[in-house]
Amino acid sequence: MTFLWLLEGIRTPFFDKLMQLVTYFGQELIIIAVICTLYWCVDKRFAYLLGFTYFSAGLCVQALKITFRIPRPWILDPEFPPVESALEGATGYSFPSGHTQGATCLFFPLALRTRRLWAKLLYAAAFLGIGFSRMYLGCHTPKDVFTSMALSLVTASVIWKFQSVLLDERRYLPHITAAMTCLSLAVAAYALLLHGSGTIETKYVMDCCKAAGAGLGFSVGYYIEHTRLNFDAHAGGFAARCFRLVIGLLLALLIKEGFSLVFGNSVLAKMSEYFILVLWVIILYPCFFSRMK
């Protein structure tokens, strides 16, 4: 908390808005939009690598959150004032940081992929800056941020090193699918078990089950796309791909917003929503535009 109080002492209205803008690039919406862009229109293989990194690390972060159950800084110290505009996006427990995990899982693989030094430095600055913004805004302590960053860096590095096994060796496809499915189900079961014993509230179960639903959607979609669809992300010209991207993102947003209106906001409904949303990205929409072609 000492470091957070130090940052609180140098806050200004300008930097409050700047850090709120920086932290936005670690949100789920931005990361999924980038993965969709790559997957549908640019580089399907690299999008899969990002997906494995993002969903695997996300499941681990959610499991750690409900294991340690560390409150947010303003709960640890009732006198500490966070930046008001950041409170809406600060859900769940504090440790580890979900925004930092998402940002690191996106920008670190991008840094590994590029050969240009200036781009590597830019990507590194992006996830480091987002991690710093979480502390500046008062949403996370340094322990929250650096633990999440370290976990994400390790996860991304391992997946990068073994990417040929994950993405190119078809003989391992059933094993990888089973492992990702088991990890997703284990996190959901763990959250429900803690909830059943009265250890955590429903809102914390919700975050875990959303991550589990997304992980399940990714593992199922990964298997079916490789064995049944195998679409071409480069199909069509530049204008056609831009149109495909815009329509796909709009329909994905419609699914996300409309699902709750129809099925409510129960834990099962949220888990199903994220499962279907990821399936839409990986299978349903590619199947649609492949058939249209």
List, run by run, the mean pLDDT of 10-residue segments along the chain (293 residues): 86 91 90 93 94 95 95 88 83 89 96 94 96 93 95 96 89 93 96 93 92 96 91 85 91 88 88 94 88 65
> Residue 56's closest CA among 154, 142, 127?
154
Longest dimension (CA), the chain: 60
Residue 265 DSSP one-character state: S
pLDDT score at 84:
85
DSSP H or E stretch at residue 47? helix 44-68
CA distance 81 to 75: 10
pLDDT score at 79:
87
Sequence-distant (6+) residues with CB within 8 A of 2 are none
pLDDT score at 292:
64
> Residue 256's closest CA among 276, 234, 235?
276
CA distance 44 to 167: 10
Sequence-distant (6+) residues with CB within 8 A of 83 are 11, 16, 19, 20, 136, 137, 138
Domain membership of residue 102 as a residue range:
2-292
pLDDT score at 249:
92
Q: What is the DSSP string of 76-118?
A: HSTT----GGGSTT--S-SSS-HHHHHHHHHHHHHHHH---HH
Number of domains the chain is built from: 1
In a 13 Å sphere around the CA of 67, the CA atoms on its Cβ side amount to: 10
> Global pTM?
0.93
